[in-house]
Structure 1
Amino acid sequence: MRVPFVKMHGLGNDFIVLDARADAVPAMTNRLAAALADRKTGIGCDQLILLEPSASADFRMRIFNADGGEVEACGNATRAVGLLHGGPARIETLGGLLRADPAEGGIAVDMGEPRFEWDQIPLAYAMDTHTLPVGWDLLDAPTCVNVGNPHVIFFVPDCAAVALDRLGPEIEHDPLFPQRVNVNVATVLDRTHLRLRVWERGVGETRACGTGACATAIGAMRRGLAERRVTISLTGGDLTIDWTAEGRILMTGPAAESFRGTFDPADYGAAG
């Protein structure tokens, strides 16, 4: 059995998309997801996306990071599958119900409302998530936001100078974060523009992270560093983030299809 897939990306954050609604897809396991995501021996991606039928939305989206771990949300992937769907879509995820709509500049995604309570991040114990009294080397006093998955955000003078390859995994696996955490380092260029780098749990540093952009924007707005509509510049390009008067996060940006192909699950140790 050969299984069709679509390779897509949002600002260079790339995905393998499998559609179990239309095709026979093997049971997804952490091991199979990691094997397909491997850039040397698999197809290669930051996340594997599995689309399934949903009783509460147009479809269900399951998200597996490159290490095989299943996670709650992915903003860039939501834009990608919105593009693939070809019209407005309500999407069920582990992080909640999302909506994707065609928009000028790409796809607009309603990411829902941010969460700030310590046990919603979650943290290992109670503390004020506005400014955490913790630090790692020169990274200290971060803020935390959950936008479907957990993020810690550090505001620094120059995010390009941060040794994210060393500090990212250390912070990701710190016991303070029982479900691990996505690590964001951001520089405020002005009140409507931030520069951002993201260490994504289970993936590493990515060219773009939609939920990271949302969390960083909300963190900056909470601290009075930014207006309610900002541009977030990542390595792969720009996203626009709005925090509406109703408290919801709107993320707008491009997505693209790279190519299509098929694979044999037996090549990756899965039953056909």
Structure 2
Amino acid sequence: MIPFRKMNGLGNDFVVVDARRHPLTLSADRIRALADRENGPGFDQFIVIEPAEAPSVATMRIINADGGEVEACGNAARCVAALLLDETGGPEVRIASAGGSLRAWRAEGANIAIDMGPPRFDAASIPLADGAGDPLALTFDEADLAAYGPAACVNVGNPHAVFFVPDIDVVPLTTVGPRFETHAAFPQRANISFATIDGPSSVRAVVWERGVGPTRACGTAACAIAAVGNRLGRLDPKVDVTLPGGTLSISLVDGRIVMSGPYALDWTGAITEGGYIRNPVPAAV
């Protein structure tokens, strides 16, 4: 059996497996089966904690519900950071990931803060297809997609496209989200956000997450919205981004993005040969 923790950040939920002592090998098919919310524990991302070289305490691997591995997940990073901070007892930890090295520490209340690194606005880093257009004002030829205006694109460890719209509540996310995600402009696909600005420090957003679909919250999307909004002169360096699952505080500090928000341990369980079991009492960290 493979023990795991079921965790979430603002409803963006994860199965977290500590594989630092015993390497984990699960097929993409098995991960997709476990992601099924009726027959498995269900999750947006499957998180694997693996060994790392100093100064990182551990490596975080992120596998979406569709079985594809991705570079970054801000909400999962807070969950993993909380476990590692409890384990080490130190004031901060560093976590290696495919999207870059992350520094994490305890913030106000029970929140965890993560230095997500600098946003990258150039087309090659996002990445955009050759000749796609201006990364901060990317337009689309399809009439129904063009109706949402230009996208402001950025890489915050993974690729994002942000559409600032008058009212997120009327966006048909499940219809346009997958079309933008897989558009030819995004050779590695993209996370798609629609954001409504309520003031220079307050934004509401909904997110179609690459390889997942609609999600209660997306930490890197909140970072992307704050970064492009500030770059365009529409948002202050510190902004609250409210998603369906709750609010994240995002600050731009010396050219880097700092995200702060909550995390939760929901329950524990184990992956078995034929499925999974759920434990009634959370295990000690």
Q: TM-score range by the shorter chain?
A: over 0.9
The Cα of 1:40 is off from its aligned counterpart by 1.5
Name the amino acid aligned to 1:55.
E
Structure 1 residues 25 and 36: alpha-carbon distance in aligned structure 2, compared to 1, 3 A threshold? farther
Kindly, what percent of the aligned residue pairs are identical?
A: 49
What is aligned with 1:55?
Answer: 53
Alignment partner for residue 252 of structure 1, among 245, 260, 270?
260
Higher mean C-alpha deviation, range 36-45 or range 223-232: 36-45
Does residue 149 (structure 1) correspond to residue 149 (structure 2)? The answer is: no
Corresponding position of 2:280: none
Query: 2:137, 2:151 within 8 Å by CA — same for their partners in 1?
Result: yes
Q: Distance in 2 between matches of 1:26 and 1:241?
A: 33
In structure 1, distance between residues paired with 2:167 and 2:36:
31
State how many pairs are aligned: 265
**For 1:149-193, what per-residue CA distance to the aligned partner results, in whole angstroms no more than 9, with x for missing partners?**
000000000011100110000111111111010000000000010
What pairs up with 1:229-244 in 2 under 5 angstroms? 229-244=238-253
Distance 1:265 1:119, change over 3 A: farther
Q: Distance in 2 between matches of 1:171 and 1:265?
A: 37
- Rounded Cα–Cα distance in structure 1 between residues aligned with 2:27 and 2:188: 19
The runs of at least 4 aligned residues of structure 1 exceeding 6 Å deviation read none
Alpha-carbon shift at residue 26 of structure 1 (Å) = 3.6
Residue of structure 1 in register with 2:281 after alignment: none
Identify the residue that residue 70 of structure 1 maps to in structure 2.
Answer: 69
Q: How does 1:11-30 map to 2 (within 5 A)?
A: 11-22=10-21, 24=22, 26-30=24-28
8 Å CA contact 1:3, 1:25 repeated in 2:
no
Q: By how many angstroms is 1:137 displaced?
A: 4.6
Q: Deviations over 1:26-68 (max 9, x none)?
A: 4133222212211122110000000000114100000000101
After the TM superposition, which residues 115-194 of structure 1 pair with which residues of structure 2 at under 5 Å, given as runs?
115-126=120-131, 127-134=133-140, 136-194=145-203
* Mean Cα deviation higher: 7-16 or 258-267: 258-267
Q: Quick check: 1:99 aligned with 2:98?
A: no
Report the AA paired with residue 133 of structure 1.
T
Going from structure 1 to structure 2, the CA distance change for 1:175 and 1:265 (only over 3 Å counts) comes to: farther
* CA RMSD after TM alignment: 1.3
Task: Give a deviation string over 1:193-221, Cα, whole Å, max 9, x none.
Answer: 00010000110010100000000011111
Give secondary structure in 2 for the equivalent of 1:15.
Answer: strand
Are the aligned partners of 1:3 and 1:265 in contact in 2 as well (CA < 8 Å)?
no
With normalisation by structure 1, the TM-score equals 0.94
TM-score, normalised by the number of residues in structure 2: 0.90
Separation in 2 of the partners of 1:239 and 1:229? 11
What does residue 33 of structure 1 align with? 31
In structure 2, runs of 5+ residues without a counterpart are 277-285
SS in 2 for 1:186: strand
Match of 2:272 among 261, 264, 272: 264
Q: Distance in 2 between matches of 1:116 and 1:28?
A: 35
